[in-house]
Structure 1
Protein backbone atom coordinates (compact mmCIF):
# COMPACT_ATOMS: atom_id res chain seq x y z
CA UNK A 1 0.00 0.00 0.00
CA UNK A 2 2.89 2.35 0.69
CA UNK A 3 4.01 2.00 -2.94
CA UNK A 4 0.48 2.81 -4.12
CA UNK A 5 0.19 5.95 -1.97
CA UNK A 6 3.67 7.07 -2.98
CA UNK A 7 2.65 7.01 -6.64
CA UNK A 8 -0.67 8.69 -5.84
CA UNK A 9 1.42 11.62 -4.60
CA UNK A 10 3.57 11.44 -7.74
CA UNK A 11 0.43 11.51 -9.88
CA UNK A 12 -0.76 14.60 -8.00
CA UNK A 13 2.63 16.28 -8.41
CA UNK A 14 2.78 15.50 -12.13
CA UNK A 15 -0.75 16.85 -12.70
CA UNK A 16 -0.17 20.10 -10.79
CA UNK A 17 1.76 22.10 -13.43
CA UNK A 18 -0.51 23.91 -15.88
CA UNK A 19 -0.61 22.09 -19.21
CA UNK A 20 -2.89 21.93 -22.22
CA UNK A 21 -5.24 19.44 -20.52
CA UNK A 22 -5.55 21.67 -17.44
CA UNK A 23 -6.31 24.72 -19.61
CA UNK A 24 -9.01 22.89 -21.58
CA UNK A 25 -10.52 21.39 -18.40
CA UNK A 26 -10.73 24.80 -16.74
CA UNK A 27 -12.28 26.41 -19.82
CA UNK A 28 -14.94 23.73 -20.23
CA UNK A 29 -15.58 23.65 -16.48
CA UNK A 30 -16.26 27.39 -16.44
CA UNK A 31 -18.40 27.39 -19.59
CA UNK A 32 -20.42 24.24 -19.01
CA UNK A 33 -19.92 23.03 -15.45
CA UNK A 34 -18.13 20.29 -13.51
CA UNK A 35 -19.11 17.29 -15.64
CA UNK A 36 -17.95 18.83 -18.91
CA UNK A 37 -14.65 19.86 -17.38
CA UNK A 38 -14.26 16.35 -16.05
CA UNK A 39 -15.08 14.93 -19.50
CA UNK A 40 -11.89 16.59 -20.77
CA UNK A 41 -9.94 15.00 -17.94
CA UNK A 42 -11.47 11.59 -18.68
CA UNK A 43 -10.50 11.98 -22.32
CA UNK A 44 -6.92 12.66 -21.26
CA UNK A 45 -6.93 9.71 -18.87
CA UNK A 46 -8.22 7.43 -21.65
CA UNK A 47 -5.04 8.15 -23.61
CA UNK A 48 -3.04 7.62 -20.41
CA UNK A 49 -4.56 4.15 -19.93
CA UNK A 50 -3.89 3.23 -23.57
CA UNK A 51 -0.27 4.30 -23.14
CA UNK A 52 0.06 2.30 -19.92
CA UNK A 53 -1.14 -0.82 -21.76
CA UNK A 54 1.24 -0.06 -24.65
CA UNK A 55 4.15 0.30 -22.23
CA UNK A 56 3.22 -2.92 -20.46
CA UNK A 57 3.19 -4.74 -23.80
CA UNK A 58 6.64 -3.39 -24.65
CA UNK A 59 5.71 -0.70 -27.19
CA UNK A 60 7.70 1.98 -25.33
CA UNK A 61 10.85 1.45 -27.41
CA UNK A 62 8.90 2.19 -30.59
CA UNK A 63 7.28 5.33 -29.15
CA UNK A 64 10.75 6.61 -28.23
CA UNK A 65 11.98 6.49 -31.85
CA UNK A 66 12.52 9.97 -33.38
CA UNK A 67 10.71 8.92 -36.57
CA UNK A 68 7.65 8.11 -34.45
CA UNK A 69 7.80 11.11 -32.12
CA UNK A 70 8.46 13.78 -34.75
CA UNK A 71 5.16 13.37 -36.65
CA UNK A 72 3.34 13.35 -33.31
CA UNK A 73 4.72 16.81 -32.49
CA UNK A 74 3.05 18.11 -35.67
CA UNK A 75 -0.17 16.18 -35.10
CA UNK A 76 -0.36 17.42 -31.51
CA UNK A 77 0.30 21.01 -32.65
CA UNK A 78 -2.47 20.81 -35.26
CA UNK A 79 -4.96 19.53 -32.67
CA UNK A 80 -4.00 22.30 -30.24
CA UNK A 81 -4.26 24.98 -32.94
CA UNK A 82 -7.74 23.69 -33.81
CA UNK A 83 -8.83 23.82 -30.16
CA UNK A 84 -7.25 27.28 -29.72
CA UNK A 85 -9.08 28.64 -32.78
CA UNK A 86 -12.38 27.16 -31.57
CA UNK A 87 -11.82 28.52 -28.06
CA UNK A 88 -11.23 32.08 -29.29
CA UNK A 89 -13.80 32.10 -32.11
CA UNK A 90 -16.57 30.68 -29.92
CA UNK A 91 -15.54 32.40 -26.70
CA UNK A 92 -18.97 33.97 -26.28
CA UNK A 93 -20.87 30.82 -27.32
CA UNK A 94 -21.87 27.68 -25.44
CA UNK A 95 -21.64 29.56 -22.14
CA UNK A 96 -23.93 28.14 -19.48
CA UNK A 97 -24.08 30.10 -16.25
CA UNK A 98 -24.59 28.33 -12.94
CA UNK A 99 -28.17 27.07 -12.70
CA UNK A 100 -28.79 27.10 -16.47
CA UNK A 101 -29.32 24.00 -18.62
CA UNK A 102 -26.21 22.76 -20.48
CA UNK A 103 -26.75 22.10 -24.19
CA UNK A 104 -23.20 21.05 -25.12
CA UNK A 105 -22.74 17.29 -25.51
CA UNK A 106 -20.60 15.37 -23.03
CA UNK A 107 -18.90 13.49 -25.88
CA UNK A 108 -17.67 16.66 -27.60
CA UNK A 109 -15.75 17.77 -24.49
CA UNK A 110 -14.52 14.21 -23.93
CA UNK A 111 -13.21 14.26 -27.52
CA UNK A 112 -11.36 17.51 -26.79
CA UNK A 113 -9.58 15.77 -23.93
CA UNK A 114 -8.55 12.96 -26.28
CA UNK A 115 -7.18 15.42 -28.84
CA UNK A 116 -5.18 17.41 -26.28
CA UNK A 117 -3.72 14.24 -24.74
CA UNK A 118 -2.37 12.96 -28.09
CA UNK A 119 1.00 14.65 -27.81
CA UNK A 120 4.63 13.53 -27.62
CA UNK A 121 4.96 15.27 -24.26
CA UNK A 122 2.39 12.88 -22.84
CA UNK A 123 4.13 9.91 -24.44
CA UNK A 124 7.52 10.95 -23.07
CA UNK A 125 6.00 11.36 -19.59
CA UNK A 126 4.64 7.84 -19.49
CA UNK A 127 7.80 6.33 -20.94
CA UNK A 128 9.93 8.07 -18.31
CA UNK A 129 7.63 7.30 -15.37
CA UNK A 130 7.28 3.61 -16.13
CA UNK A 131 10.78 3.06 -17.50
CA UNK A 132 12.06 1.92 -14.10
CA UNK A 133 9.56 -0.94 -13.81
CA UNK A 134 9.46 -2.07 -17.45
CA UNK A 135 12.45 -4.39 -16.97
CA UNK A 136 10.50 -6.48 -14.45
CA UNK A 137 7.07 -6.14 -16.03
CA UNK A 138 6.97 -9.70 -17.37
CA UNK A 139 7.71 -11.43 -14.07
CA UNK A 140 4.93 -12.12 -11.60
CA UNK A 141 5.96 -9.60 -8.96
CA UNK A 142 6.99 -7.07 -11.60
CA UNK A 143 3.58 -7.21 -13.26
CA UNK A 144 1.84 -6.62 -9.94
CA UNK A 145 4.17 -3.73 -9.13
CA UNK A 146 3.58 -2.19 -12.55
CA UNK A 147 -0.19 -2.35 -11.95
CA UNK A 148 0.14 -0.72 -8.51
CA UNK A 149 2.30 2.08 -9.93
CA UNK A 150 -0.15 2.67 -12.78
CA UNK A 151 -3.19 2.74 -10.49
CA UNK A 152 -1.42 5.05 -8.06
CA UNK A 153 -0.51 7.62 -10.70
CA UNK A 154 -3.96 7.50 -12.33
CA UNK A 155 -5.57 7.97 -8.90
CA UNK A 156 -3.36 10.99 -8.25
CA UNK A 157 -4.30 12.54 -11.60
CA UNK A 158 -7.98 11.82 -10.94
CA UNK A 159 -7.81 13.48 -7.49
CA UNK A 160 -6.14 16.52 -9.07
CA UNK A 161 -8.86 16.78 -11.71
CA UNK A 162 -11.67 16.53 -9.18
CA UNK A 163 -10.02 19.10 -6.88
CA UNK A 164 -9.36 21.53 -9.73
CA UNK A 165 -12.90 21.25 -11.11
CA UNK A 166 -14.42 21.68 -7.66
CA UNK A 167 -12.59 25.02 -7.39
CA UNK A 168 -13.63 25.91 -10.96
CA UNK A 169 -17.27 25.06 -10.23
CA UNK A 170 -17.29 27.28 -7.13
CA UNK A 171 -15.65 30.13 -9.08
CA UNK A 172 -18.20 29.72 -11.88
CA UNK A 173 -21.03 30.63 -9.50
CA UNK A 174 -19.69 34.17 -9.09
CA UNK A 175 -18.61 34.77 -12.69
CA UNK A 176 -20.73 36.48 -15.33
CA UNK A 177 -20.89 35.76 -19.05
CA UNK A 178 -18.26 38.36 -19.98
CA UNK A 179 -15.73 37.02 -17.48
CA UNK A 180 -16.18 33.47 -18.78
CA UNK A 181 -15.84 34.72 -22.38
CA UNK A 182 -12.46 36.31 -21.64
CA UNK A 183 -11.35 33.19 -19.77
CA UNK A 184 -12.10 31.20 -22.93
CA UNK A 185 -10.05 33.65 -25.03
CA UNK A 186 -7.09 33.42 -22.64
CA UNK A 187 -7.40 29.61 -22.70
CA UNK A 188 -7.29 29.72 -26.50
CA UNK A 189 -4.12 31.80 -26.45
CA UNK A 190 -2.49 29.38 -23.99
CA UNK A 191 -3.44 26.41 -26.16
CA UNK A 192 -1.97 28.23 -29.18
CA UNK A 193 1.22 28.75 -27.18
CA UNK A 194 1.44 25.02 -26.39
CA UNK A 195 0.95 24.32 -30.10
CA UNK A 196 3.84 26.64 -30.95
CA UNK A 197 5.98 24.83 -28.38
CA UNK A 198 5.22 21.54 -30.13
CA UNK A 199 6.32 23.06 -33.46
CA UNK A 200 9.53 24.26 -31.79
CA UNK A 201 10.22 20.77 -30.42
CA UNK A 202 9.64 19.33 -33.89
CA UNK A 203 12.15 21.82 -35.30
CA UNK A 204 14.75 20.89 -32.65
CA UNK A 205 14.30 17.17 -33.31
CA UNK A 206 14.51 17.71 -37.06
CA UNK A 207 17.65 19.80 -36.65
CA UNK A 208 19.29 17.15 -34.45
CA UNK A 209 18.34 14.47 -36.96
CA UNK A 210 19.87 16.35 -39.88
CA UNK A 211 23.04 17.18 -37.98
Structure 2
Protein backbone atom coordinates (compact mmCIF):
# COMPACT_ATOMS: atom_id res chain seq x y z
CA UNK A 1 0.00 0.00 0.00
CA UNK A 2 2.85 2.38 0.79
CA UNK A 3 4.31 1.89 -2.69
CA UNK A 4 0.93 2.48 -4.34
CA UNK A 5 0.47 5.62 -2.24
CA UNK A 6 3.89 6.87 -3.41
CA UNK A 7 3.05 6.16 -7.06
CA UNK A 8 -0.34 7.89 -6.69
CA UNK A 9 1.28 10.94 -5.08
CA UNK A 10 3.93 11.08 -7.80
CA UNK A 11 1.15 11.05 -10.42
CA UNK A 12 -0.52 14.06 -8.82
CA UNK A 13 2.81 15.86 -8.44
CA UNK A 14 3.68 15.10 -12.07
CA UNK A 15 0.47 16.75 -13.31
CA UNK A 16 0.23 19.67 -10.88
CA UNK A 17 2.95 22.05 -12.21
CA UNK A 18 1.57 24.61 -14.70
CA UNK A 19 2.29 23.74 -18.32
CA UNK A 20 0.75 23.55 -21.76
CA UNK A 21 -1.86 20.94 -20.82
CA UNK A 22 -2.92 22.95 -17.76
CA UNK A 23 -3.08 26.16 -19.82
CA UNK A 24 -5.30 24.53 -22.44
CA UNK A 25 -7.49 22.85 -19.79
CA UNK A 26 -8.07 26.24 -18.14
CA UNK A 27 -8.83 27.96 -21.44
CA UNK A 28 -11.25 25.27 -22.62
CA UNK A 29 -12.73 24.85 -19.14
CA UNK A 30 -13.62 28.54 -18.99
CA UNK A 31 -15.36 28.15 -22.35
CA UNK A 32 -16.94 24.70 -22.02
CA UNK A 33 -16.99 23.99 -18.30
CA UNK A 34 -15.94 21.01 -16.17
CA UNK A 35 -16.26 18.30 -18.82
CA UNK A 36 -14.20 20.20 -21.41
CA UNK A 37 -11.35 20.64 -18.93
CA UNK A 38 -11.54 16.99 -17.88
CA UNK A 39 -11.45 15.79 -21.49
CA UNK A 40 -8.23 17.73 -22.12
CA UNK A 41 -6.69 16.07 -19.06
CA UNK A 42 -7.89 12.59 -20.00
CA UNK A 43 -6.62 13.07 -23.54
CA UNK A 44 -3.16 13.96 -22.24
CA UNK A 45 -3.18 10.86 -20.02
CA UNK A 46 -4.03 8.68 -23.02
CA UNK A 47 -0.99 10.11 -24.77
CA UNK A 48 1.16 9.41 -21.72
CA UNK A 49 -0.18 5.85 -21.55
CA UNK A 50 0.68 5.25 -25.22
CA UNK A 51 4.28 6.36 -24.71
CA UNK A 52 4.50 4.38 -21.47
CA UNK A 53 3.31 1.26 -23.29
CA UNK A 54 5.88 1.83 -26.04
CA UNK A 55 8.66 2.25 -23.50
CA UNK A 56 7.62 -0.81 -21.50
CA UNK A 57 7.06 -2.79 -24.70
CA UNK A 58 10.64 -2.54 -25.81
CA UNK A 59 10.17 0.06 -28.57
CA UNK A 60 12.32 2.51 -26.66
CA UNK A 61 14.99 2.31 -29.35
CA UNK A 62 13.07 5.07 -31.15
CA UNK A 63 14.27 7.53 -28.53
CA UNK A 64 17.83 6.90 -29.69
CA UNK A 65 17.21 8.39 -33.14
CA UNK A 66 17.52 12.19 -33.22
CA UNK A 67 15.61 12.43 -36.53
CA UNK A 68 12.60 10.59 -35.07
CA UNK A 69 12.63 12.78 -31.96
CA UNK A 70 12.99 15.88 -34.11
CA UNK A 71 10.03 14.95 -36.31
CA UNK A 72 7.81 14.56 -33.27
CA UNK A 73 9.18 17.79 -31.82
CA UNK A 74 8.43 19.82 -34.95
CA UNK A 75 4.88 18.45 -35.05
CA UNK A 76 4.52 19.43 -31.39
CA UNK A 77 5.77 22.96 -32.04
CA UNK A 78 3.33 23.40 -34.95
CA UNK A 79 0.47 22.21 -32.75
CA UNK A 80 1.47 24.71 -30.05
CA UNK A 81 1.57 27.58 -32.54
CA UNK A 82 -1.89 26.61 -33.81
CA UNK A 83 -3.21 26.54 -30.24
CA UNK A 84 -1.69 30.00 -29.65
CA UNK A 85 -3.50 31.31 -32.73
CA UNK A 86 -6.73 29.65 -31.59
CA UNK A 87 -6.38 31.20 -28.12
CA UNK A 88 -5.76 34.70 -29.47
CA UNK A 89 -8.87 34.65 -31.66
CA UNK A 90 -11.12 33.07 -29.00
CA UNK A 91 -14.25 35.00 -28.06
CA UNK A 92 -16.08 35.08 -24.73
CA UNK A 93 -18.81 32.41 -24.85
CA UNK A 94 -22.34 33.78 -24.63
CA UNK A 95 -23.69 30.41 -23.44
CA UNK A 96 -22.34 27.12 -22.17
CA UNK A 97 -21.35 25.22 -25.33
CA UNK A 98 -21.41 21.44 -25.17
CA UNK A 99 -17.98 19.82 -24.75
CA UNK A 100 -16.40 18.95 -28.08
CA UNK A 101 -14.56 15.83 -29.14
CA UNK A 102 -11.65 18.14 -29.99
CA UNK A 103 -11.09 18.76 -26.25
CA UNK A 104 -9.97 15.14 -25.88
CA UNK A 105 -8.07 15.13 -29.18
CA UNK A 106 -6.10 18.28 -28.31
CA UNK A 107 -5.14 16.85 -24.91
CA UNK A 108 -3.90 13.63 -26.52
CA UNK A 109 -2.07 15.53 -29.26
CA UNK A 110 -0.24 17.74 -26.74
CA UNK A 111 1.03 14.62 -25.00
CA UNK A 112 1.79 12.56 -28.12
CA UNK A 113 3.80 15.36 -29.76
CA UNK A 114 6.14 15.66 -26.78
CA UNK A 115 9.42 14.30 -28.21
CA UNK A 116 10.90 13.61 -24.79
CA UNK A 117 7.96 11.66 -23.39
CA UNK A 118 9.47 8.25 -24.17
CA UNK A 119 12.68 9.29 -22.42
CA UNK A 120 10.64 10.19 -19.32
CA UNK A 121 8.83 6.86 -19.31
CA UNK A 122 12.08 4.98 -19.87
CA UNK A 123 13.29 6.59 -16.67
CA UNK A 124 10.03 5.92 -14.84
CA UNK A 125 11.57 3.02 -12.94
CA UNK A 126 14.35 5.31 -11.76
CA UNK A 127 11.79 7.87 -10.60
CA UNK A 128 10.07 5.22 -8.49
CA UNK A 129 13.39 3.96 -7.15
CA UNK A 130 14.44 7.45 -6.09
CA UNK A 131 11.08 7.80 -4.30
CA UNK A 132 11.87 4.80 -2.10
CA UNK A 133 10.18 1.95 -3.99
CA UNK A 134 12.36 -1.14 -4.08
CA UNK A 135 12.56 -3.32 -7.20
CA UNK A 136 9.98 -1.28 -9.16
CA UNK A 137 10.57 -3.34 -12.32
CA UNK A 138 8.77 -6.33 -10.79
CA UNK A 139 5.50 -4.43 -10.43
CA UNK A 140 5.86 -1.72 -13.05
CA UNK A 141 2.43 -2.14 -14.75
CA UNK A 142 0.56 -1.78 -11.43
CA UNK A 143 2.69 1.17 -10.35
CA UNK A 144 2.22 2.80 -13.76
CA UNK A 145 -1.57 2.40 -13.54
CA UNK A 146 -1.53 3.90 -10.04
CA UNK A 147 0.66 6.78 -11.24
CA UNK A 148 -1.78 7.57 -14.07
CA UNK A 149 -4.69 7.33 -11.62
CA UNK A 150 -3.01 9.98 -9.49
CA UNK A 151 -2.57 12.17 -12.56
CA UNK A 152 -6.26 11.69 -13.40
CA UNK A 153 -7.24 12.65 -9.85
CA UNK A 154 -5.35 15.93 -10.21
CA UNK A 155 -7.05 16.55 -13.56
CA UNK A 156 -10.46 16.14 -11.90
CA UNK A 157 -9.49 18.49 -9.05
CA UNK A 158 -8.20 21.12 -11.48
CA UNK A 159 -11.31 20.82 -13.65
CA UNK A 160 -13.55 21.27 -10.62
CA UNK A 161 -11.65 24.40 -9.59
CA UNK A 162 -11.98 25.77 -13.13
CA UNK A 163 -15.72 25.05 -13.17
CA UNK A 164 -16.23 26.80 -9.82
CA UNK A 165 -14.21 29.82 -10.94
CA UNK A 166 -15.98 30.02 -14.31
CA UNK A 167 -18.87 32.07 -12.90
CA UNK A 168 -16.47 34.89 -11.98
CA UNK A 169 -14.98 35.16 -15.47
CA UNK A 170 -15.77 38.34 -17.41
CA UNK A 171 -14.61 39.48 -20.83
CA UNK A 172 -11.42 41.07 -19.49
CA UNK A 173 -10.35 38.04 -17.47
CA UNK A 174 -11.18 35.71 -20.36
CA UNK A 175 -8.95 37.79 -22.62
CA UNK A 176 -6.12 37.74 -20.07
CA UNK A 177 -6.37 33.94 -19.77
CA UNK A 178 -6.41 33.57 -23.57
CA UNK A 179 -3.36 35.80 -24.05
CA UNK A 180 -1.53 34.09 -21.18
CA UNK A 181 -2.26 30.68 -22.71
CA UNK A 182 -1.07 31.87 -26.12
CA UNK A 183 2.21 33.12 -24.63
CA UNK A 184 2.76 29.77 -22.90
CA UNK A 185 2.13 27.92 -26.18
CA UNK A 186 4.38 30.21 -28.22
CA UNK A 187 7.19 30.09 -25.64
CA UNK A 188 7.02 26.31 -25.36
CA UNK A 189 6.89 25.94 -29.15
CA UNK A 190 9.98 28.11 -29.62
CA UNK A 191 11.78 26.22 -26.84
CA UNK A 192 10.87 22.92 -28.51
CA UNK A 193 12.28 24.08 -31.85
CA UNK A 194 15.48 25.21 -30.11
CA UNK A 195 15.83 21.82 -28.39
CA UNK A 196 15.23 20.04 -31.71
CA UNK A 197 17.99 22.15 -33.28
CA UNK A 198 20.41 21.30 -30.46
CA UNK A 199 19.41 17.63 -30.66
CA UNK A 200 20.16 17.49 -34.39
CA UNK A 201 23.51 19.22 -33.89
CA UNK A 202 24.49 16.67 -31.25
CA UNK A 203 23.18 13.80 -33.37
TM class by shorter chain equals 0.7 to 0.9
How far apart, in 2, do the equivalents of 1:132 and 1:32 lie? Answer: 35
Match of 2:185 among 164, 186, 191: 191
Aligned length: 195
- Out of 98, 104, 109, the position equivalent to 1:115 is 109
Q: Residue 65 of structure 1: CA displacement? A: 2.7
Deviation at 1:126, TM superposition (A): 1.8
Q: Which residue of 2 aligns with 1:12?
A: 12
Q: Give SS of 1:119's match.
A: coil
Query: How far apart are residue 61 of structure 1 and its match?
Result: 2.5
Residue 69 of structure 1 corresponds to which residue in structure 2?
Answer: 69
How far the C-alpha of 1:108 sits from its partner, in A, is 1.2
- In the other structure, the counterpart of 1:124 is 119
Distance 1:8 1:64 in 2: 29
Question: How far does the alpha carbon of each residue in 1:111-140 deviate from its partner, in whole angstroms, 9 at most, with x for none?
Answer: 11122112113333222214679xxxxxxx
TM-score (norm 1): 0.84
Distance 2:101 2:82 in 1: 17
Q: CA deviation at 1:149?
A: 1.4
Instruction: Give the ranges of 4+ consecutive aligned residues of structure 1 lying more than 6 Å apart after TM superposition.
Output: none
Q: Which residue of 2 aligns with 1:33?
A: 33
Q: Is the 8 A contact 1:4 1:151 kept in 2?
A: no
Deviating more after overlay: 179-188 vs 79-88 = 179-188
Counterpart position of 1:136: none
| 1:73–1:202 CA contact under 8 A, matched in 2 | yes
Alignment of 1:196-207 (within 5 A): 196-207=190-201
Give the distance between the partners of 2:182 and 2:107, measured in 1 at CA: 14
Aligned to 2:131: none
Map 1:37-52 → 2, pairs under 5 A: 37-52=37-52
- How far residue 16 of structure 1 moved from its aligned partner, in angstroms, is 1.8
| C-alpha RMSD of the superposition | 2.0
Distance 1:163 1:57 in 2: 31
Contact 1:28–1:37 under 8 Å retained in 2: yes
